[in-house]
Amino acid sequence: MNKPSWVRPLIMVAVLFVTSFSGTGAKAQTDGEGLKLNLRYDGKLLYIKVLNVDLNQQITASGHASSARISSYGILDAFKHFNIDAVETGRVVQGAPQPGVFKHENHDGKRNRKVEVTWGPADVTTVSEPEMTFMGDPPANRQQRLASVGYLTAAMRLTLAAEDGPCRGSEMIFNGKELSELGFSQPRQSSLTEAQRKLGLVNGVRCSAAFREIAGYHRKKGKARNQGLDRPILVDFAQAGEGGPWVLAKLETQTQLGPAVIELSQVKVQGRLPVAVIQAAKPE
């Protein structure tokens, strides 16, 4: 991702929390309509909007699909135009989304790259154009790859969390090269703003999130391993209507340049969660 260093932390935040790639329009191998969720986010750095983030999700009893786009906006677009697109599809097994194929593409007019990551029973394979010659120090090993999910499968699992919200546990996420751990802790109730209530959001939950580089990166030390994020990440989730899917409502963190925010601005829900998915999310 050949971007100005001052905006990379905000892009990383958007990628880690809202991304699935779009453009091609992911389509799940499904047996019914299920649930469709369309979300739009505004990304701000130093309180100035610099990113548009679009996320589309679909899930039925047999499959899931997500698509998303992150694009430069305003002053950033004038300085450095780019789009990051992706799609991810996979099966739903016993009500839980599983990784399948994750495709992402960066368009900036200079170093455009297409990457396709496929989860198989014996390994996870990466094909890229142009080919990636450096896979990290150390690179992700086979066991780590098989224990991971794509960014969009991780996002889908957050969407389908149980009634008490997605603010627990962690996921190992993989983009074909970089393996990272994304964890959530300290869940507590959070008041919704008037704007969030107008979007139809209910039952706000706030938690702390932590990002950790595991493999596939250049070897680093100390704060350099957190993608330029200087403080813990605060994440607000809410349900899109009573009993509805969980959505990321707002994310706040501190970068080396100042505050960065990703905030939900539009939401559209169609259909219903499949019964098998609802049952799988219930605590035993």
Q: Where are the domains of the chain?
A: 8-281
Q: Rounded to an integer, what distance in angstroms lies between the CA atom of residue 38 and that of residue 168?
A: 24
- Please give the radius of gyration of the chain, using alpha carbons only, rounded to the nearest integer: 18
Backbone angles phi, psi at 259, to 5 degrees: -70, 140
Q: Note the pLDDT of residue 201.
A: 97
* CA 194 to centroid of chain Cα atoms: 25
User: Which stretches of the chain drop beneath a pLDDT of 50?
Assistant: 1-6, 19-31, 228
CA–CA separation, 158 and 152 (whole Å): 10
Q: What is the distance between the alpha carbons of residues 249 and 193, in angstroms, rounded to a whole number? A: 10
Predicted local confidence at residue 260, as pLDDT: 87
Residue 221: phi and psi, rounded to 5, are -130, 150
**pTM, two decimal places:** 0.85
Q: What is the structure's pLDDT at 82?
A: 78
Say what the pLDDT of residue 36 is. Answer: 94
Q: What pLDDT, on a 0 to 100 scale, did the predictor assign at position 57?
A: 94
> Which of 41, 43, 45 has the alpha carbon at shortest distance from 55?
41
Count of CB atoms situated within 10 Å of the CB of 85: 22
pLDDT for the residue numbered 19 = 45
Helix (H, G, I), strand (E, B) or coil at 167: coil
Q: From CA 55, how far away is CA 248, in angstroms rounded? A: 11
